[in-house]
Amino acid sequence: MNIINNIRQLRSWTSINRGTRCVFVPTMGALHEGHAALIRAARELAGQSGNVIVSIFVNPTQFGPGEDFSKYPRTLIEDLGLCRDNGADAIFAPKAEDLYLADRSIQLFETSLSKTLCGTSRPGHFDGVCTIVAKLFNLVQPDDAVFGKKDYQQLAIIRRLVRDLDFNVVIHGIDTVREADGLAMSSRNRYLTEEERAQAPVLRAALLKAREAYVKGGERDGKALQRLVLDQIAAGAPAGRVDYVEVVDASTLQTPTETTELVLIAVAVFFGSARLIDNIELK
C-alpha cells in the first residue's frame, strides 16, 4: 500500500497508474467500520486490476467557529491499518498547508442544496466540502468515488457538484453502516456519555417508525411524519436536543412535490457536544 504525503507524490502516482480504473474514497480519518464498508465497496468497483485510493484529511474549511476542528480525532496509524486490511492500494494524507496556500483567494460556493438541513445551522460548511472535494477530484482524477448515505445532504451536494462542474467521475452512494442497536456509525459517537449512548439509537427507531407509517399506513403528510419522529425522539432520548427533523425530496432537499421520486426523512440531534445525523429513504 502506497502512502502519499504531498501533491508531487500524488501526481506521480496518478501518472504511473493512468489508464487503470481508479476508485476514490475521501475521508477525514478516525476511520471505523462504516469507512471500511466504503473501501470494500470501492474495491469491488475497481476489481482486482483497478486501484482504490483513500484520502485522509481533516479539512479546516468545512468547520465553522466553535466547531470541533481542533478536537476532531486524528488516528492515522490505526487508519492506515484499516485501509490496508480492506483493500486500499494508496493513501493520500496531506498536510493542510499542502492543499491550502496562505494567500489563496478562490473557493467554491453552493447556493441551493446547502440552504436546508445541516446547512441551516452550519453556514459555509458545504462550501468548504465542495472546495476540498473539487480539489481532490482534480488531484486524484478518479473514475468513481464513493460516499456514505449517512450524510445524505453531502451526497446530494457532491452529485450536484459533479453535474454542474462537469467532473468526469461517477458518484456511488453506499448504505449507512450501523451498530447492533441501529445507531449509525460515526467518528463522533466516541464523544457520547454512557447515558447518551444508551439513548442515541432512538434516532433510528424513530425513522423506522415513520417509514412504517409511510409504507404500511399510507401516511403522506410530511408534517405528520415529522411529528411522529419528533415525538419518538422526545420520548426515548430526553438527553437529546433536536436540531431538525425534515421530510424532503431526496434529490432537491426541498419539500416533496407530486413529481418527487424518492422521499427522505433526515434528522440531526445534539447529545452534549456530539451532533448526530441520520436519515431514511421512503420507498
Is residue 137 within 8 Å of 169, Cβ to Cβ? yes
Q: What residue spans of 216-252 are helical by DSSP H?
A: 222-236
Catalytic residue among 32, 35, 125, 172: 35
State how far the Cα of 23 lies from the Cα of 87, in Å rounded to an integer: 11
State how far the Cα of 216 lies from the Cα of 17, in Å rounded to an integer: 50
State how far the Cα of 88 lies from the Cα of 79, in Å rounded to an integer: 11
Helix (H), strand (E) at residue 244 = strand 240-249
Active site residue 35: yes
State how far the Cα of 160 lies from the Cα of 182, in Å rounded to an integer: 29
Q: How far is CA 240 from CA 28, 71, 110, 186, in A?
A: 25, 21, 30, 16
With a CB cutoff of 8 Å and minimum separation 6, the contacts of 58 are: 28, 29, 69, 72, 74
Catalytic residues: 35
